[in-house]
Amino acid sequence: MQKLQTKDPSFRAAWERVCARGSDEDEAPVREAAQRIVEDVRARGDVALLEYTRRFDGWDPGTAAGVALGPDDFRAAFRGLPAEGRRALTLAAKRVTDFHARETDSEVKPRRDAAGATLAQVVRPLARVGLYVPGGTARYPSSVLMTAIPAKVAGVREIFVCSPGVKGTGEMDAWTLAACHVAGVGKLFRVGGAQAVAALAYGTGTIPAVDKICGPGNAYVAAAKRLVFGRVDIDMIAGPSEILVLADVAADAAEVASDLLAQAEHDVRAVSVLVTPSVRLADAALAEVERQLADLPRREIASRSIQERGAVVVAADLAEAVRLADEFAPEHLALHARNAARLVPKLSRAGAVFVGTSTPEAVGDYLAGPSHVLPTAGTARFASPLSVATFRRRMSVLEFTPAALAAVAPAVKALARAEGLEGHWRAVAVRVEKAAPVRRRKAARPARAARRPPPRRPLRGRPGRKGSR
3-state secondary structure at position 191: coil
The reply, when asked if residue 336 is annotated as ligand binding, is no
Q: Are 110 and 397 in contact (CB under 8 A)?
A: yes
The reply, when asked if residue 372 is annotated as ligand binding, is no
Half-sphere exposure (Cβ direction) of 220: Cα atoms closer than 13 Å: 16
Sign of CA dihedral 63, 67, 70, 74: positive
Half-sphere exposure (Cβ direction) of 386: Cα atoms closer than 13 Å: 31
The reply, when asked if residue 332 is annotated as ligand binding, is yes
Question: Cα dist. 465→378, 458, 460 in Å?
Answer: 103, 15, 10
CA–CA separation, 236 and 38 (whole Å): 18
The reply, when asked if residue 366 is annotated as ligand binding, is no
The reply, when asked if residue 218 is annotated as ligand binding, is yes
The reply, when asked if residue 195 is annotated as ligand binding, is yes
Q: Are 211 and 232 in contact (CB under 8 A)?
A: yes
DSSP class of residue 200?
H
Q: Are 151 and 184 in contact (CB under 8 A)?
A: no
332 given a catalytic annotation: yes
Helix (H) or strand (E) holding 128: strand 128-132
CB environment 354-363: b (16+ within 10 A), e (fewer): bbebebbbee
Set 100, 181, 332, 336: catalytic member: 332
The reply, when asked if residue 266 is annotated as ligand binding, is yes
Longest dimension (CA), the chain: 129
Sheet hosting strand 311-314, strand order edge to edge? 2-5, 311-314, 271-276, 242-247, 332-336, 352-355
Length of the chain: 469
CB environment 219-233: b (16+ within 10 A), e (fewer): bbbbbbbbbbeeebb
Alpha helices per DSSP H over 62-140: 71-80, 83-101
What string of DSSP letters covers 396-455?
A: EEEE--HHHHHHHHHHHHHHHHHTT-HHHHHHHHHHHHHHHHHHHHHHHSPPPPPP-PPP
CA–CA separation, 288 and 294 (whole Å): 10
β pairing state of 158-162 and 128-132: parallel
The reply, when asked if residue 241 is annotated as ligand binding, is yes
The reply, when asked if residue 263 is annotated as ligand binding, is yes
Set 25, 331, 361, 372: catalytic member: 331
Query: Residues at the annotated binding site?
Result: 132, 195, 218, 241, 263, 266, 332, 365, 419, 424
- The annotation places the binding site for NAD(+) at 132, 195, 218
**Annotated binding residues for Zn(2+), as ranges?**
263, 266, 365, 424
| Binding-site entries for substrate | 241, 263, 266, 332, 365, 419, 424
Catalytic residue set: 331-332
